[in-house]
Structure 1
Amino acid sequence: MSKTTISSISTVKSKLTAIIARTRLVEAGRIHMVGFDTLKDALGDRWVSVRERVLTYAENRLTQHLSSQDAFFRYGDEEFLIVFANLSNQAAQMLVGKVAEEVHQFILGSPDTQSITIKSAVQQVDGELLFQDLSLAEVLAVAHNQSTETPKKPRGNTAFREKSPPGKMQGSLLVEDTGDITGEIGPPELTPVSFVFRPLWDVKNKRITTYRCVPTRKMAAGYTVEQYAVLNATDGQETVLDLDIATLHTAARTLSRVMDSGFVFACNVTVHYETMSRNDSRRAYIEAIDQIPVQLRRFFIVELTELPVGIPMVRFAEFTSILNARIRAISCRIPLDTRNLQGYGNANLFAVTIDLGDIRKSEGEIMKKFDQIAAAAANTGLKTCITGIKSTSLAIAAAASGITYIGGKSVRDDRKIPGRVITMTWSDYFGF
């Protein structure tokens, strides 16, 4: 850790001067500063051309995360001074770190928590604020350590001194009475649904310009579920519709913010068969699309998913016709064993997608399917996309078969906010 002194406080706006004069805010850890020196070093000569874009994006993120009682101002040419009204020192550091991480991820694609620095005011001496520098990695480590600390247990074996818990009969067995032995078994606790953007690599053109907006949800046990698995088994069709609309509008809002910052990407969102098959839910989804400005819709690709086996292609073409009039293109998720794609080609689709996430086959079997799908797609003029690729060998096999887009953990990490177009060759893929 290092310490940085800021002298010319008189240059800050009068409102901030009045705030920081309240020494108790300094003592409470309410004043912080964030800059982008490491980002500047990483970009080198390119910093001059993107500097204002970075600062504007940082202002947008601060406005998004701060409450109406908080305040922030630009300090100097490339830093922000932030004053929190109520947050604790650690919570404020975490929030400032989150903003810095989002900016780094937006520009570079992979933030380094060790290089991101957060400056917290720790003293006020002779009209100067004394700041303490912490890396985001240090802030996260402190928060983690505090969350995992457990109270000390009393010495000695107290098991026999403690009163045994009450028991209850479960059939012929006496078990501890937790109060819910005979009650209904509910699903595990879930966090709110969040969204990530998963890149799709256009192998032939050696670039990433398309991202899939994927709903995810963390379980209390720590693992994550995604897509329609974020819903409870008891949720009805209305919840499926709600998720489809939430995904659509999250993607639209994110695309709008990215375009305001001078970038653009093609956005892939899924829509469930249940949403499109019923008149009322289909009407609601179409209305949700129509609420999105045309300037954004032209970058959307909607992927029809969870289609039942044997669905009449006339019915399927009805869905694609409705959607095609409003967005850039339509794709459809199909089973790995699909052989004939003629019906999909006749339905005016842009592409077919296969997700390997839940497929339990050997890599050799999957690679043979790649060849079949690529050949069938070539005969019908369809693009192909394979998602959920987890190994280098499958990525190479998909590309060699002629698959158009590939995505998965072996390609690139998920992002909260897509950024500029990424040029990606095989040398980049292997890290050469």
Structure 2
Amino acid sequence: MGKRWDGLCAVVYDTVEDVIIEHIGKNDLFVRYADDTYVIIFAYANLEEGKAKADAIAEEVRRRLFLLDEEELREIEVKKAVRELTADTLSRFDFPDFLGEYVDDSSEPVVNSVLEENQEDDYEAMGAAVEIEAHDYKPQSKQDVARYLSNIKFSYMPLWDVRRAALTAYMCLAEDARGVATLLEGHKSVYAHLDSGGRVAADIQLLQHVMSELALMVEDGRKFLIVCPVCYETLFNFESYESYKECLESIPLQQRQFLVLLILKPEKQLNAKDAYWFLPAIKKYSRLFFAEVPLKQGIYFQSLKAIGLDGVGVILDKHVEEKQAIGILGGFSNTAKSHKIPLTFVMGVSSLSLTTSSVCAGFDYIGGPAVHDSVAKPDAIHKYKHENIVSALMSKQG
């Protein structure tokens, strides 16, 4: 099947990885087995609990592959088996080293030896013909979290202002040192390795980085917007909200006019009842306040309007097919504006056709690898030679 099958395999890999990460705890691990199957180790589960978790993971993988609406993916068989591993079994191997080190494709995970010694002839590992990198453990102690956070670097994703035909905003994102495909995916990966407390600390660290850049920008006389993402859970939890607000309060008034706050990863669509106690108090510290709209549920623009957001938008991840994405974009912006939500954005735009669709759909801000490469620092507003973003991108592609 050539390149088409290679593309489908990549979708399967990403789908299985996401499902496993969603179902394992901070002390659990999964590794890629030698025959491109997975071994998942549940640290504190008994045999029955392990079976229940394995069933849930296998079922969710089947469900998501089916929803992708590709016949080849629907035919993939997901098998599973559960074996009990004792502490004595694991202690015979240098397992702690594995916990602390990232295992790439060039090395054989030590867990293979454990299973080869204990597996029976009828052993069937969970098999969806997947092949991805091993999952790093989550830092647990305060010292580990601090060390992890200290190694995080930040880059900026330029956002195209369609009406002004210029890059007038830059979104600050955490950079994954392993070179994940796009900056948005890297940001998601960095946060996936942290528990809720670690994500709050990362949000505050990102805000402090943005504050430093705002100060330099004003000092140099540059003028553009810096978008600072913040996890929904950071604002929704009272204690972390207070810590985050304390940082915002220290931003001088002159710098606030260039700051855009963006709520990422809401567990459900925001509504006025949930947001009334933190949103009004936060808005005054920034020029604009945006929120991502999750695509898993229906979008209720009337509810979003009641919150008083300056803008809403969608972030297209790697699992959304291009045809599906174009369908999502079609009426989003116009519907939002008909409900008096002033601005709309779309990020994760990875092709010329998606860029064209976003422009035609009336989005105000567009970001992603198809629009402009990520940059280490925000720079002066950049204008293309062409007045129209689509013609500019087409000319770049030659």
Relative to the length of structure 2, the TM-score reads 0.58
Distance 1:221 1:241, change over 3 A: closer
Alignment match, 1:363: 322
Alignment match, 2:392: 428
Q: Distance in 2 between matches of 1:368 and 1:190?
A: 38
- Structure 1 residue matching 2:337: 3-state secondary structure: helix
- Structure 2 residue matching 1:354: 3-state secondary structure: strand
Q: CA deviation at 1:349?
A: 0.6
Q: CA deviation at 1:343?
A: 1.2
Distance 1:181 1:277, change over 3 A: closer
Alignment of 1:212-227 (within 5 A): 212-219=171-178, 226=185
When structure 1 is superposed on structure 2, of 320-329 and 188-197 the one drifting more is: 188-197
Unaligned runs of 5+ in 2: 1-84, 104-147
Alignment match, 1:285: 244
Q: CA deviation at 1:223?
A: 9.1
Q: CA deviation at 1:230?
A: 4.4
* 2:219 is the counterpart of 1:260: yes
Q: CA deviation at 1:210?
A: 0.7
Q: Distance in 2 between matches of 1:182 and 1:195?
A: 28
Q: Is the 8 A contact 2:293 2:312 kept in 1?
A: yes
Greater gyration radius: 1
Alignment match, 1:203: 162
- Structure 2 residue matching 1:386: 3-state secondary structure: strand
Alignment match, 1:130: none
- Which of 238, 247, 254 aligns to 2:206? It is 247
When structure 1 is superposed on structure 2, of 242-251 and 336-345 the one drifting more is: 336-345
Q: Distance in 1 between matches of 2:337 and 2:357?
A: 17
Q: Is the 8 A contact 1:339 1:376 kept in 2?
A: no
Aligned residues: 259
Q: Distance in 2 between matches of 1:213 and 1:319?
A: 22
* 2:234 is the counterpart of 1:275: yes
Q: Is the 8 A contact 1:191 1:219 kept in 2?
A: no
- Structure 2 residue matching 1:197: 3-state secondary structure: strand
Q: Distance in 1 between matches of 2:362 and 2:278?
A: 28
Distance 1:258 1:415, change over 3 A: same
Q: CA deviation at 1:185?
A: 7.8
Q: Deviations over 1:257-296 (max 9, x none)?
A: 2332231211111111211111111000000111222211
- Output the amino acid matched with 1:179: D
* 2:375 is the counterpart of 1:415: yes
Q: Is the 8 A contact 2:176 2:189 kept in 1?
A: yes
Distance 1:422 1:234, change over 3 A: closer
Q: Is the 8 A contact 1:200 1:208 kept in 2?
A: yes
Q: Distance in 2 between matches of 1:184 and 1:313?
A: 43
- Output the amino acid matched with 1:253: S
Q: CA deviation at 1:399?
A: 0.5
Distance 1:180 1:247, change over 3 A: same
Q: CA deviation at 1:203?
A: 1.3
Q: Distance in 2 between matches of 1:292 and 1:302?
A: 13
Alignment match, 2:355: 395
Distance 1:232 1:380, change over 3 A: closer
- Output the amino acid matched with 1:343: S
* 2:289 is the counterpart of 1:330: yes
Alignment match, 1:317: 276
* 2:298 is the counterpart of 1:351: no
Q: Is the 8 A contact 2:352 2:390 kept in 1?
A: no
Structure having the larger proportion of residues in helix: 2
Q: Deviations over 1:27-70 (max 9, x none)?
A: xxxxxxxxxxxxxxxxxxxxxxxxxxxxxxxxxxxxxxxxxxxx
Q: Distance in 2 between matches of 1:246 and 1:304?
A: 16
Alignment match, 1:236: 195
Q: Is the 8 A contact 1:385 1:403 kept in 2?
A: yes
Distance 1:220 1:428, change over 3 A: closer
* 2:320 is the counterpart of 1:405: no
Q: Distance in 2 between matches of 1:364 and 1:205?
A: 28
Unaligned runs of 5+ in 1: 1-169
Q: Distance in 2 between matches of 1:408 and 1:356?
A: 9
- Structure 1 residue matching 2:260: 3-state secondary structure: strand
Structure having the larger proportion of residues in strand: 1
